[in-house]
Amino acid sequence: MVFDTRNGTRGARQPRGRLLIWANRMMMRRIRRGKGGMRGGQALVLKTVGAKSGAERESPLAWFPGEGDSWLICASAAGAAKNPAWYYNLAAHPDRVSIDVDGQTVPVTAEQLHGAERDAAWQSITASAPGFADYQVKTDRELPVIRLTRRAE
């Protein structure tokens, strides 16, 4: 499980601030009630452990169906030059991750996709949500695609 995408040198401004925090909280409530979607697709709440702090962190994200019983997410940060903080949390603790999706909490393992596997997943993501292709154009880093797979507890 290699998480190796470096930050880029150009990109959109990474979303942040109090308004984003409030909007994310509202979105996570909607997702947990089964009423939330993002960019016209399905959404989940990603729960990670902070890479530095060790504290639990939550992020609402769009997800896409992966092979078998898996979910695909993209560390787009809206096309920012830097990877989102949750990407580094996954890299530090890929086996201490869970998601809230479809009214349930599911323990998962995170794996960054590379090569042909990443390319196929990226094609699937951009076919169902063309806005992600716009994010890729804004930055010079390759947007990481992460597969979340159900983990036995």
pLDDT in tens, 47-90: 999 999 999 999 999 999 999 889 999 999 999 999 999 999 99
What pLDDT is stored for residue 133 in this prediction?
A: 94
In-domain check, residue 63: yes
In-domain check, residue 67: yes
User: What's the CATH number where 33 sits?
Assistant: 2.30.110.10
DSSP collapsed to 3 states, 32-76 = HCCCCEECCEEEEEEEEECCCCCCEEEEEEEEEECCCCEEEEECC
In-domain check, residue 39: yes
In-domain check, residue 6: no
In-domain check, residue 144: yes
Give the confidence band of 35 by pLDDT, cuts at 50, 70, 90.
confident
In-domain check, residue 74: yes
In-domain check, residue 110: yes
What pLDDT is stored for residue 51 in this prediction?
A: 93
Question: For residue 14, is pLDDT > 90?
Answer: no
In-domain check, residue 2: no
User: What's the total number of domains in the chain?
Assistant: 1
User: Which has more confidence, 4 or 87?
Assistant: 87
Q: What is the dihedral of CA 64, 70, 75, 79, to 10 degrees?
A: -20
Phi first, then psi, for residue 45 (nearest 5°) are: -110, 115
pLDDT digit string, tens, across residues 118-128: 999 999 999 99
**Enclosing H/E stretch for 111:** strand 104-112
Domain of residue 106 covers 18-150
User: Is 134 strand, coil or helix?
Assistant: helix
Q: How far is CA 17 from the centre of its chain?
A: 19
